[in-house]
Structure 1
Amino acid sequence: MAISFSISHITLITFFYLLILSSSSSSATTTALNITSILSSFQNLTSFSSLLCSTSVASDLTRRDPITLLAVPNSYLSISPSSDLTRRLPPSSLGDILRYHILLQYFSWTDLLKIPPSGVLVTTLLQTTGRAHSNFGAVNITRNPLTNSITIQSPAPYSPSNATVLSLIKTLPYNITILAVNSLLVPYDFNLMASDTRPPLGLNITKTLIDGHNFNVAASMLFASGVVDEFEADEGGAGITLFVPTDVAFGDLPGNVQLQSLPADKKSVVLKFHVLHSYYPLGSLESIVNPVQPTLATEDNGAGSFTLNISRVNGSLAIDTGIVQASVTQTVFDQNPVAIFGVSKVLLPREIFGKASAGITTKPGNGVAVATVQPPETSPSPVNAPGSSDPASNLSSPSGFHEEIKSDSERYQLQSCIVALCCIGFYVVL
């Protein structure tokens, strides 16, 4: 009887360890994430999934967890500026853009709603490649305490690229969360000229600004918004004249001028407000007959709106918007049919930032007057915009996710515990 008990004891112990090893092995295999398989269940993410595959980023995620993936739905990926990036950039550069959308941290909905208004800095997969300067391979995630809306952007000040979280797509607790965002993010100081598929142009405005060294913020905004294409298309005919704020000018914007919080369409209007639809060398501007000049924004919004007043003040060429008076500081490029001038201030149109007749305040030391009585115009967010194919989502109560999804690894661990308890109970009975 003692021999029988000893054999049973050894057999049970051996069987117990084999089960544990088997369960551990099964659990380990589930850590390999097949991101395209997960995304295949969502028809509104087919284009984004294809980009992950075509750039080999999907294979980078096979053994990478925990992560939070920022996915752009088809309806947002097909419009500017996201569509411009996917069309222009070669696979290598586009791959780094996509790596910037992979956060190396798991965020549940509870985690997102606990983010302080000041934000948290999160490393992305791009940072691990060594191709991002400084900490520009990370993103800053902030939460609006009033609306609980989540915004994601570069940690660099005045970064022109940002995205808003639209909804929760899927979560496998502690392994992966997939969030829908309304735009592709461009890392600050990213090599915008890396494209080998860009069509030939008369003058590459973005490259010209980058070569000017003092216009990196403006160059990034022009590229991210997609309006640079329109500017370059207008090089023919009457030509164009651009007034480009320096990097210092963006840094001097008062705190109550929330340029980055504007919707994409209004950002485009502000950029077009800096462009005259005619070629004016410096001498022509100084002797201009009609000081009130329409801009490209005027053409989109109607005669008499979004005009600039150009005149000489104290021997310098001044540009007045009714809110801001800037001066021309340098000639960046001047060759018919394109003239590009650096200006000391960001030109703020009163149609967006308030009427000049309203009460205004001036930031000490920078001479920028900003309307404070009349609030800026607002427009529907991309989620609620007319014609949007995606339903609106409330961040605080995501639809379709009242139950947490258990990962395969958790199920295997639970199974292992049950089997182990059964074995122990069987051993005690014997």
Structure 2
Amino acid sequence: MATILSSISRFAPLTFLYFLLFSFSHMPIFAIDISTLLSSYPDLSDFASLLSSTSVAADLTSRSSLTVLAVPNTFLRSSDLSSSSSSHHLADVLRYHILLEYLSWPDLRLIPPTGKLITTLFQTTGRASTNSGFLNLTRDPRSNTVTIHSSSYSNATVLSLVKTLPYNVSVFSINSVLIPSEVNLMASETRPPLGLNITKALIDGHDFNVAASMLMASGVEEEFEADEGGAGITLFVPTDEAFSDLPAKVKFQSLTADRKAVVLRFHVLHSYYPLGSLESIVNPVQPTLATENMGAGSFTLNISRVNGSVAINSGIVVATVTQTVFDQNPVAIFGISKVLLPKEYFGSHPIDPISDGGEALPPDISLSPENSPDPYGPPGSHLSSPPGLDMRSGAATAGGGGELRIFLGLWCIVFWHHLLV
């Protein structure tokens, strides 16, 4: 019996390791709902309303670690932000108040007097020049006052900790609005007309006749050109070959006219991204014009860099950027290798072009590290879903990884059985 117990004690750590393997493979992913989080604080109601109305709140749902610098109503209403006529500039100012790092109150107390540079959500838009998308936090060692320095010298002081959900999100109140150096709140929303005819630009590109015809037939071209005056737009346009290579099982032409229009909007981002910005994009999950029409969290694209190219994952198809058709602020048009099929219309399973004579898809694109929960983080950080956070099931490990864990688990059971018999 002593021998058996000795054997068990030697192998218990190994068994525990397998238990951890099984546990972490089913860890949920946290999604932050800032609007719900701030709803119980009346003094932050204006700030929360702006986050929701500009869709910045929806952009945060894919992140699991951040710090919000919220401006109370008193300070917000006395700032230029309340009289801004530009929703585009307003959204970028709000993004400037989102730090892409979780900071607790003790963390602020440890900031050195020389300061700490922290990335904001504004930096991920591609519109921040050099280091203007960062904030510098400094601490006075005598009073422990924490000051936030912006690129335009519109500094603010941290007033208090409003809310913290450990290791995921914290909210601090500050006494002033922070303005990036690129943003002019008094500028008009309307830019000088670019005079771009998107259909003509595609026809001149010589390989986009199908897409040009669809744009003219759907009537969404005018909608796209109208959006140039705001934050700008980025179009991903499939080549003629991409349309001809659609698998036979994809009944694209059988879609209703309304659904075809949604698919076209699914190929457009409501921001201007030159190629360099796409290649270095920080937040891979991007809403599209279809997202704005169909609801937050739907019809999003996952953009990343794969094998030296910009890859765009629709959820069931991965396309790559093949060429720049047009690039002049505020419009960028890129040719892509495949038609982006939204999973909302074509199912949730990846389409395998090999069975239809096409090329193999590139590897699936995973979310950036900041969007994934840390299984080795502090105890309790991923065990419950506090207010303001949604629990989303993590995808199970695909292919051989899942089968290997099952095999190892069965092997452990057989091994223990032989030890104890």
What band does the TM-score fall into relative to the shorter chain? 0.3 to 0.5
Between Structure 1 and Structure 2, whose CA radius of gyration is higher?
1
Question: TM-score when scaled to structure 1?
Answer: 0.40
TM-score (norm 2): 0.41
Higher RCO by CA contacts (8 Å cutoff, separation 6 or greater): 2
